Amino acid sequence: MRRFVNQADRGQWTLLPECLDDFIDESNPVRVIDVFVDALDLAEMRFEGVEPAATGRPSYHPSVLLKLYIYGYLNRVQASRRLEREAGRNVAVMWLLGRLAPDHKTIADFRKDNGLALRRVCARFVELCREMGLLATASDGSKFKAVNNRDKNFTRAKVERRRAQPEESVSHYLSQLDTADRQEPTALAAKVTRLTEKLTKLKEEMGKLAAYEKQMLASADQQISLTDPDSRSMATSGRGSGVVGYNVQVAVDTEHHLIVTHEVTNSGSDRAQLANVAKQAKTVLKIETPEAVADRGYFSSLEILACHEAGITVTLPKPQTSGAKSDGRFGKQDFVYLPEEDAYRCPAGEQLPYRFTNEEDGKRLRRYWTTARQNCSLKSRCTTGPERRLPRWEHEHLLEAVQQRLDANAQAMRVRRETVEHPFGHHEGPHGSDTLPHQNASKSSRRDGSLGPGL
């Protein structure tokens, strides 16, 4: 074929380069993987199989399997069977493993048996990046779908709904049996047999449901999953949607999108995750006074207090859950606290002095109100009762400082969104953003020591 690049003859013998190294250029990532793994002390990290057995068939050294594992992670090749195929056809993997080709069971067992050691490798990689000055971290939370099907997850509400369905079917089938009794004998026998079989099957299902309910009520959170026992039913951002899975919290490098630290929980809410992830990021980055910025899904007064005690400065918006505000009345934010008088000033200028202290939900609350000015013109916008009462937590000044920092940095939430949603968005699973990686609740930190946009 003239004027086109001609194909080579498939039957032509070819003299390949004598060295496999000639196929791998200097910028190929497998060279970095090779150097990094060879520099690790795998025995110190507690990898199994570092010392070979005295008898039996020779095994693969853990460094070989670790290199293959890291290669698969970087190239989104997670399945052990796919990694087995790559070792036999991918020239870069052949170079990395020295032409070794472990089978899929060996690869799967390596991952299963060395979970803690693999976490230590991740920690060492993060430490290396920190030493090289590459890290400026951000954190995010996302729901990951478990193997457990939604039909194999039981909560109190699900059990009640599923019990109602068989009961309706039983009533329907019994009604059909009564109708069958009034039919001709020739059609009666077959129909009675079919309905009886259905009733028997329904009774078996109701027996199983009763057993599941007993297990569910005995669990700590009154929820069970049959296939993946640790997974839990969680709400996602889509209205009426949900997923049975895990809530994964991660701290991510804002510049290179490297995961710094992670935590897998089966709690569907991010409300109690702020301090835990912030402290982990602080430990990894070795920063004395980091700054954390989070979205409102992480707002918790006790978590903010825990961050303060750990030396972490927090910035995040407070959810607007005030019933008074939604009804068109003044919210607590419309009242000004006067530290010197230890009193609140209402929108009409009246002071609400301190009355007494009590404890509620593990927090010490100071109570403020006044009985003066019952004829105030703004009373209808203030309260429907005799007087407006305000609670003040003993650490309320920390929450006020959080709001002040947010007001002073109006761009914090925008930067958070731009920073922390990238890693999950680029690793979205086959079921879309509401199943594998996605559900935003976010965190972050910068190189100057802040755990900045989003934590």
Q: Is position 419 within any domain? A: no
Asked if 116 and 178 sit in the same domain, the reply is no
Is residue 6 scored above 90 in pLDDT? no
More confident residue, 407 or 177: 407
Is residue 389 scored above 60 in pLDDT? yes
Q: Is position 363 within any domain? A: yes
Last residue of a domain, one of 395, 417, 450: 395
- Percent helix, strand and coil across the chain, each rounded to 5? 45, 15, 40
Q: Of how many residues is the chain composed?
A: 455
Asked if 26 and 127 sit in the same domain, the reply is yes
Which stretches of 104-147 are DSSP H helices?
Answer: 104-113, 115-131
pLDDT for 441 = 33
Asked if 180 and 219 sit in the same domain, the reply is yes
More confident residue, 257 or 302: 302
Q: Tell me how far apart the alpha carbons of residues 353 and 355 are, in angstroms, rounded to a whole number.
A: 6
Asked if 30 and 72 sit in the same domain, the reply is yes
The pLDDT tens digits for 117-176 are 988 888 888 788 777 766 655 556 677 777 777 777 878 777 777 766 665 665 665 666
Q: Is position 11 within any domain? A: no
Q: Is position 409 within any domain? A: no
pLDDT for 239 = 57
Asked if 159 and 124 sit in the same domain, the reply is no
Domain holding 196, by residue range, is: 151-225
pLDDT for 85 = 93
Tokens 């006067």 map to which residue?
A: 338
Asked if 74 and 175 sit in the same domain, the reply is no
Q: Name the β-bridge partners of 139.
A: 251, 443
The pLDDT tens digits for 77-133 are 888 999 999 998 888 999 999 889 999 999 999 999 998 998 888 888 878 877 776
Q: Tell me how far apart the alpha carbons of residues 213 and 228 are, in angstroms, rounded to a whole number.
A: 17
Asked if 116 and 177 sit in the same domain, the reply is no
Last residue of a domain, one of 225, 260, 284: 225
Contact yes or no for 389/368 (Cβ under 8 A): yes
Q: Tell me how far apart the alpha carbons of residues 258 and 137 are, in angstroms, rounded to a whole number.
A: 8
Last residue of a domain, one of 171, 200, 225: 225
For the beta sheet containing 343-345, the strands, ordered from the edge strand earlier in sequence to the opposite edge, are 336-338, 343-345, 351-360, 363-368, 390-393
Asked if 34 and 73 sit in the same domain, the reply is yes
pLDDT for 439 = 32
The pLDDT tens digits for 220-245 are 787 888 888 888 888 776 555 678 88
Q: Is position 302 within any domain? A: no
Is beta strand 313-315 parallel, antiparallel or unpaired with respect to 291-293? parallel
Q: Tell me how far apart the alpha carbons of residues 442 and 239 are, in angstroms, rounded to a whole number.
A: 20
Q: Tell me how far apart the alpha carbons of residues 151 and 133 are, in angstroms, rounded to a whole number.
A: 48
Q: Is position 453 within any domain? A: no
Asked if 118 and 208 sit in the same domain, the reply is no
| Mean predicted confidence (pLDDT) in 30-50 | 90
Asked if 126 and 61 sit in the same domain, the reply is yes
Number of folded domains that form the chain: 3
pTM of the model: 0.67
pLDDT for 151 = 76
Asked if 124 and 26 sit in the same domain, the reply is yes
